[in-house]
Amino acid sequence: MNKKRAVILNTIIIFSFFAIFVRLADLMILNHKHFSEKAKMQYTKAEDIRVRRGIVFDRWGRELALNLELESLYCDPENLDLDDDNIKKLASVIAKKSDVLRAKIPDEGRFAWIARKLEPETAKMIKELHIQGLGFQTEAKRFYPGGRLASHILGFVDLDNQALEGIELKYDKYLKTGGGKVFFVRDAGGRTLSSGVDTEAKGNNIVLTIDQGLQYIVEKEIEKAISKWNAASASAIMIDPLTGEILALANRPAYDPNYPGKVTGFEKRNRAITDCYEPGSTFKVVIGLGSLEEKIVKPDTLFDVSKGGINVGGKTIRDVHRYSVLQFKEVIQKSSNVGSIMIGMQLGPERLYKYAKLLGFGEKTGIDLPGEISGWIRPPERWSGTSLGAIPIGQEVAVTPLQVLRAYTTVANGGFLVRPHIVSEIISPDGKVLFSFGEKDKKRVISQATAETFKDILKGVVDEGGTGKRASVNGNEVAGKTGTAQLIDPRTKRYSKEKFVSSFVGFVPADNPKLAIIVVVHEPKGQNYGGVVAAPVFKEIAEQALSYLNIPREDDHYQTSLVVSR
């Protein structure tokens, strides 16, 4: 009997060891990876690395886009004590309906957002409700201290700080670096044992070429123009003609990037680079520079425009005012369409197209903002019978305000085509310069002699007798050009007699240019000429900008007086 018991006992022991061996084999060999990962999850904790977008500064270090630390409200659905009374109280504080609030809370799970990035006062009121199962997590909210100021330059981000427009989008990979997760070791009670782990990634800072003061001046003046002329929209750009640095860029209507959801795409469009228009007489820079460069004309070359019109391809194009015989410089000064077409005919389709392309028309400028379009000018083989009468005066072409401005900087800087840009430097969180814009893209397209000659002609546009005399600046000489273009009526597919685009583009001081500015006003009411609508806006912007920058008046004369005391 004892022997039988011993056999049974030994069998049980052997079987038990076999079972343990099988289980160990299962744990250590067959399912080792699975149980290892499960154990790791029990003693480690994963947290997202919070990414703080870099700060955007103007050229003088003034903050244009930064981060605010705000609290976001979440709940633990399994531990949430939210009866009807608490629902009503919470809904009242966060300005939501009770049923909308209930819909945000799932039936199960341990985490759900209720309200993101609350105002400090709102967060304080919620905490005072003492509702079990609610919690707060600190998040960064993008903040634009200037409100609408420079909104089309800066762009905006969404609730999760994902870039959607402007500099925020174009330089997103620099402004938002790092990310991912970090893992902590914790004990059985869930307490973190690791320390010294960085849970926050800081993006690079960006310095713009924009001057906040000049930006304010430009925005203020086009806002006044919109109001005065009851216009549909307007754009204005200010650039350093020597370097291509954008000093200010503005559109109206505008929007507050702190609340982008409150406006439509109409207000968000950066019209200065995304909208095309027929430029009208500002496009005469092409026939002006081209004919001088090809030595077809001199400033005093005569053109008989006494008929008041010219027929091209069966279509008669007329001047607004009738003239007799004009010198080449007067054709530009008085913006004679007839004279301009005569010059275009002498230049010919191939050379006319060549100089339009040399000045950057029909191509993107390469500005570092999203959404830029190229516009268009058809090659000569695709021209119609009337194209040689239309293109010299700025019809049958599509341009952006920035393209026109860049063409005129070529005159201002002695013949170089610059690349407009809006970012000056990218700086790492530890102060290292990662990127600095150079002038490597600057190239000569027109001879200096041609540029200087045409500059003198553009001065005449702003003198008495020129179409742009309302753009004259007290104390400084201006060189520039007016533009008045009819819009196509979508119903008739013909040029409208009521809707126009009025513009003025120029630079100042004319002989030592510091600023080049374009003003474009769409569909002004009551007047339509660029010299009446846009030129005065140029004048106001230029005078205030020159004063702001402490650029001396050219007509200042300093006298020294000798004072003798007795």
Domain parsing of the chain, residue ranges: 47-78+106-208, 212-421+440-548
**How many Å apart are CA 331 and CA 341, to the nearest integer?**
10
Per-residue confidence (pLDDT) for residue 182, from 0 to 100: 46
Backbone angles phi, psi at 170, to 5 degrees: -60, -35
Which residue is listed with tokens 């268009």? 376
Q: How far is Cα 309 from Cα 320, in angstroms, rounded to an integer?
A: 10
Three-state SS string over 342-400 comes to HHHHHHHHHHHHHHHHHCCCCCCCCCCCCCCCCCEECCHHHCCCCHHHHHHHCCCEEEC
The domain defined by 47-78+106-208 folds into: Penicillin-binding protein 2a (Domain 2) (3.90.1310)
Q: What is the separation, in whole angstroms, between the first and last Cα of the chain? A: 146
Domains 47-78+106-208 and 212-421+440-548 share a fold: no
Residue 450, C-beta contacts closer than 8 angstroms, at least 6 positions apart: 289, 292, 293, 415
Class of domain 212-421+440-548: alpha beta
What is the chain's pLDDT, residue by residue, as a tens digit (566 residues)? 567 777 777 777 777 777 777 666 666 676 666 656 666 555 555 555 567 899 999 999 999 999 988 888 888 877 777 777 888 888 888 887 877 777 777 777 778 888 888 888 888 888 888 888 888 888 888 999 999 999 999 999 998 889 999 999 999 999 987 655 545 455 555 455 555 555 567 899 999 999 999 999 999 999 999 999 999 999 999 999 999 999 999 999 999 999 998 999 899 999 999 999 999 999 999 999 999 999 999 999 999 999 999 999 989 999 989 999 999 999 999 999 999 999 999 999 999 999 999 999 999 999 999 999 999 999 999 999 999 999 999 999 999 999 999 999 999 999 999 999 999 999 999 999 999 987 666 889 999 999 999 999 999 999 999 999 999 999 999 999 999 999 988 888 888 888 999 999 999 999 999 999 999 999 999 999 999 999 999 999 999 999 999 999 887 644 434 444 43
The CA distances from residue 55 to 66, 201, 207, 435, in Å, are 5, 13, 9, 15
Active site residue 92: no
Instruction: Please tell me the distance from the alpha carbon of residue 482 to that of residue 280, in angstroms, as a whole number.
Output: 9
461-492: pLDDT as tens digits: 999 999 999 999 999 999 999 999 999 888 88
Question: What pLDDT, on the 0 to 100 scale, is given for residue 34?
Answer: 65
Token duo for residue 52: 């703080």
Burial class (CB in 10 A: 0-12, 13-18, 19+), 130: exposed
pLDDT of residue 562: 41
In this predicted structure, what is the pLDDT of residue 444?
95
pLDDT number for residue 103: 78
Give the pLDDT confidence score for residue 26 in this predicted structure.
66
Q: Among the options 233, 281, 336, 387, which is catalytic?
A: 281
- Indicate if the alpha-carbon torsion angle 150, 152, 153, 155 is positive or negative: positive
